[in-house]
């Protein structure tokens, strides 16, 4: 089996990936939302009961909607599940010039050290990053492999220069007030909205994300049994495309599933990204509660520039239900799938 389950994690990400034998699959966990979903606790307890292991836990970057729930999991020792390795770029992994003195209370690093959890072991305890023409490939137990696509050294250096501010805004420092690091989207209201004009929306000017935390995202492709999925975290589309081109030459690049960057933000889903992918299934992971993701222009770019895409949402919300229009689906040759209380599971076998 090979499946990706986007658990219901509010406006954040929480991906539960299984591969291997049906009765005892290997498990990877990517992020845990702003607070760990109740279903995630249940799954971990079930995994512990059968003597299973988390082969890999990835904390993609220091934004509250990705890292908040992971703090809870660490505090509770992953509810009894052993963890083979955790990937997370802490301050000690960031290159660049020191811009401040003694490190303040970094909660995730403290928990990793206090709990003696394996940390970046697959990367020889160095940063999870690409460098020059080096794109690390990690072979996991059970036959899966991961190829890193993001971040690069420059993106981590930018984060380092702003580490205290960014981590404070993500509420990693107890003595720093939490404020949003996210830009506002285009402000379109979904309630009572007219049928979207796909062509106009897809043609809107694209301006790429510049947020330090998003640029530092650990993004990668995972491969098992000749199927590949792209896990985009909140990465910049230009970085993903550049990495894929360096690795595989000119696109489009074939994937069984693409988890789109930054919950379908208009600044992280470009025409060039969609055209650079050969994929039928595009996953949007968010309930839109805080930032109204996914952006209509981002969804329209997928519809307009992919070939008969299937749009997969782990929630049905007022911010995405307008795409469940049969006339639109017929006109633009796409389909939709919505999750339920368990999120949404995509079988890649």
- Answer whether residue 18 is part of any domain: yes
In a domain, 199, yes or no: yes
**pTM for the whole structure:** 0.93
Domain housing 303: 2-97+110-176+191-347
Residue 182 resides in a domain: no
State residue 104's pLDDT score: 46
What is the reported pLDDT for 338?
98
Which regions of the chain are under pLDDT 70? 97-105, 173-193
User: Which pLDDT does position 98 carry in this prediction?
Assistant: 56
Q: Residue 277's domain is classified under what CATH number? A: 3.60.15.10
pLDDT tens column, 326-342: 999 999 999 999 999 99
Q: Give the distance from CA 237 to its chain's centroid.
A: 13
**Looking at residue 185, what is its pLDDT?**
42
In a domain, 105, yes or no: no
Q: Is 105 left (phi over 0), alpha (psi -120 to 50) or beta?
A: beta
In a domain, 102, yes or no: no
Residue 305 lies in a domain: yes
Angle at 137 between CA 136 and CA 140, to 5 degrees: 135
pLDDT at 178: 43
* Total domains present in the chain: 1
Paired tokens of 265: 């933000």
- Tell me, yes or no, whether 103 lies in a domain: no
For 213-223, the pLDDT digits (tens) are: 999 999 999 99
Does the residue 183 lie in any domain? no
Q: What pLDDT shows up at residue 193?
A: 55
> What is the per-residue pLDDT for 187?
41
């Amino acid at each position: 089996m090979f499946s990706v389950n986007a658990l219901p994690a509010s406006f954040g990400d929480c991906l539960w990936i299984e591969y291997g034998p049906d009765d005892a699959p290997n498990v990877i966990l990517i992020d845990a939302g702003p607070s760990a979903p109740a279903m995630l606790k249940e799954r971990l307890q079930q995994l512990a009961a059968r003597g299973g292991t988390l082969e890999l836990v990835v904390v993609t970057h220091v934004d509250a909607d990705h890292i908040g729930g992971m703090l809870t999991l660490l505090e509770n020792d992953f509810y009894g599940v052993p963890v083979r390795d955790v990937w997370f770029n802490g301050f000690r992994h960031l290159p660049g010039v020191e811009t401040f003195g003694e490190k303040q209370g970094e909660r995730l690093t403290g928990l990793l050290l206090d709990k003696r959890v394996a940390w970046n072991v697959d990367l020889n305890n160095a940063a999870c990053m690409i460098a020059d023409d080096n794109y690390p490939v990690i072979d996991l137990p059970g036959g899966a492999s991961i190829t890193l696509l993001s971040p690069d050294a420059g993106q981590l250096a930018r984060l380092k220069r702003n580490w205290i501010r960014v981590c404070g805004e993500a509420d990693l420092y107890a003595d720093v007030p939490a404020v949003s690091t996210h830009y506002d989207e285009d402000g379109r209201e979904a309630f009572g909205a007219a049928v979207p004009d796909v062509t106009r929306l897809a043609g809107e000017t694209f301006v790429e994300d510049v947020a330090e935390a998003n640029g530092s995202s650990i993004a990668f492709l995972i491969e098992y049994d000749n199927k590949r999925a792209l896990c985009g975290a909140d990465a910049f589309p230009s970085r993903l495309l550049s990495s894929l081109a360096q690795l595989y030459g000119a696109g489009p690049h074939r994937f069984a599933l693409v988890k789109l960057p930054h919950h379908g933000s208009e600044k992280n889903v470009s025409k060039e990204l969609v055209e650079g992918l050969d994929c039928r299934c595009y996953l949007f992971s968010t309930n839109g509660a805080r930032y109204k993701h996914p952006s209509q222009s981002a969804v329209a770019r997928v519809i307009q520039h992919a070939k008969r895409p299937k749009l997969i949402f782990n929630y049905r919300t007022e911010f995405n239900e307008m795409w469940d229009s049969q006339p639109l689906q017929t006109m633009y040759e796409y389909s939709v799938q919505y999750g339920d209380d368990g999120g949404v599971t995509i079988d890649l076998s």
